[in-house]
Structure 1
Amino acid sequence: METTFGFYDLIETFTKPGCAVCNLLQAETTRLLDSILYEYATDTSTQAAFRDSRGLCSEHGHQLTQMGNALGIAVLYEHPLNDVLRILQGTAPGGGSQARLMTRLFPQNPNGAIIDALTPTKPCIACASQAETEARFVKILSDFADDERMTGVFRASDGLCLPHFIQVLQNTADPSRSRLLIAIQTDIWTRLRDELREFMRKNDYQHASEAITEAEGVSWRRVVARMAGERGILSPRRTIS
């Protein structure tokens, strides 16, 4: 099978600590936010997207504030702020003919109109981009699971986090590839469990004289990331149903 865009990115990232898919998503999202902030803050289509989504989700919004360019953030967020203020001023319960009409039409919930108007109509643009990138890398790993280059780096890596491993299995229809993925991930998680158990054993006073290895010493952190995914990657995404 001919390699596809992103294949070698995945190969390279498997050599680094952590879930490769999580790490790639972190890198892609950082690049996107940097580009938005420093290249597209005054772009009309970007500003329109910010208005539709009422800015970014909590996770990506706070990430944006850590990247500098306070002026760029101000420019981007002035538009959604102006929009919500116009909505509040025009649809406040009891204030204005439109608001009074909505109150008569929907007396059981006089705030219904304002709630609908305030609700974002589009997802956070970083969340949407992240979802597309995630699907692409999950498919690459699924399609190339039995490629020797992929198999080798996957076997030597920290493996995938549980959520991304589940996604890969959901996208893998070939039984032999599924068995291979499960076997490799089982070996990786078995090593992690052994290191975690050694960490606990050596923290017992009876074995306090035994040195804790570097891998054992961080096993408690790694197991959290392996079960939940890397921080900020798999938190609830702002989507529009």
Structure 2
Amino acid sequence: MRFGNHKTVGQDPNYFSLLEAMNADGCVVCRLADRQLERIIDSLRYERIDDYEIRRKIHQSGGFCREHALRILEQGDPLLHAIIYSRLFEQKVETLRSGEDIASRRSSSDGRKRFGAREGLRAPNGSECLICEGLRELEDRVLPLIPMFYDCDETFRKAFDERGHLCVPHLEAVFSKSKPDASPNGILSAQIRKYDQLARHLREIERKFDYRYCNETSCEDEKKAWRLAVALWTGC
């Protein structure tokens, strides 16, 4: 089956990546993002942090967002952190001494929000965290392909119907990322069925906590439904 610029579906590496991601629980795009995150962190630890342009980009953007800074911290790499944060704190000392940083925070109407936001104390210029940028590029590449693969390829469609998922954030993103010649209606209908089934499993969990039904056995899908619900609602 061909799509787009006459490329065969099976020739697209993203096709196989998505199929493989369906073997794990949760949203297929989130699973790909997890793997991409691991690759980026590994590349920083073992080679890319020696690249001057990479270090400059990290420092100019004010480091990493809070979520990704904590993920890197989990790796326990003192040298990597010394390279990154020595320059960040040198920059902070320079701006604090000049008074520019405090003045800009006071004059900003959203200064309080920026200090307490999820991204942490990053540069106020709006630059993306290096890892956030890499994950956004992955999403921009993969999301438009999902409805195309689903409509054009029976193997992909069957695999998704049996074991694939899209979290709510990524399902909504499919609509904004879809190409004009690829309707998201097929993948939408499939995911609506899955959300409906998940809601029914969750209702069964509620029901079986009632003492009148607590002796009933829960199926495997019910046992993992509450964790899956969090993953699919939040995109984690």
TM-score (normalised: structure 1): 0.80
2:224 maps to: 218
Equivalent-residue separation in structure 2 for 1:144 and 1:53 (angstroms): 36
Q: For residue 41 of structure 2, what is the aligned residue in structure 1?
A: 33
* Counterpart contact for 1:51–1:80, Cα < 8 Å: yes
Q: CA deviation at 1:113?
A: 8.4
Are 2:175 and 2:184, in contact at CA under 8 Å, matched by a contact in 1? yes
- Corresponding position: 1:170 with 2:176: yes
Write the mapping of 1:66-81 to structure 2, written as runs, cut at 5 A: 66-81=74-89
Distance 1:157 1:115, change over 3 A: farther
Aligned counterpart in structure 2 of residue 182 of structure 1, from 178, 184, 188: 188
Work out which of the residue numbers 93, 98, 117 in structure 2 matches 1:90.
98
How far residue 141 of structure 1 moved from its aligned partner, in angstroms, is: 0.6
Paired with 2:174 and 2:104, the residues of 1 have a C-alpha distance of: 41
Match of 1:47 among 42, 55, 65: 55
What is the rounded CA distance, in whole Å, between the counterparts of 2:235 and 2:123 in structure 1? 32
What stretches of structure 2 of length at least 5 have no aligned partner? 3-7, 109-121
1:201 maps onto 2:207 in alignment: yes
Quote the offset at 1:115 in angstroms.
Answer: 7.5
Query: What SS class does the counterpart of residue 205 from structure 1 fall into?
Result: coil
For residue 160 of structure 1, report the CA deviation from its aligned partner: 0.6
Residue 152 of structure 1, CA deviation: 1.1
Contact preservation (8 Å) 2:148, 2:182: no
- The one-letter code of the counterpart of 2:212 is Q
Q: Answer whether contact 1:142 1:171 (CA < 8 A) is retained.
A: no
Same amino acid, percent of matched pairs: 26
What is the RMSD of the two structures over their aligned residues, measured on CA atoms? 2.5
Following superposition, the deviation at residue 195 of structure 1 comes to: 1.1
1:119 aligns with 2:124: yes
Distance 1:173 1:216, change over 3 A: same
Match of 1:138 among 135, 140, 143: 143
- Determine the C-alpha separation between the residues in 2 that align with 1:112 and 1:176: 45
Q: Which residue of 2 aligns with 1:237?
A: none
The aligned amino acid for 1:119 is P
Give the corresponding residue for 2:26.
18
Greater C-alpha Rg: 1
Q: Which amino acid aligns with 1:77?
A: Y
Equivalenced residues, count: 214
Cα offset, 1:119, TM superposition:
2.6
Q: Would the aligned equivalents of 2:201 and 2:225 in 1 still touch at CA under 8 Å?
A: yes
Moved more, 122-131 or 212-221: 212-221
**What is the Cα deviation at residue 228 of structure 1?**
1.4
Structure 1 Cα separation of the partners of residues 183 and 62 of structure 2:
42
Cα deviation, residue 154, structure 1: 0.8
CA distance, structure 2, for counterparts of residue 114 and residue 52 of structure 1: 21
Deviations 1:1-49 (A, max 9, x none): 2232311101111122110000100110111011112212232111101
- Worse overlay, 159-168 or 36-45: 36-45
2:70 partner SS: helix
The answer to whether residue 166 in structure 2 is matched with residue 160 in structure 1 is: yes
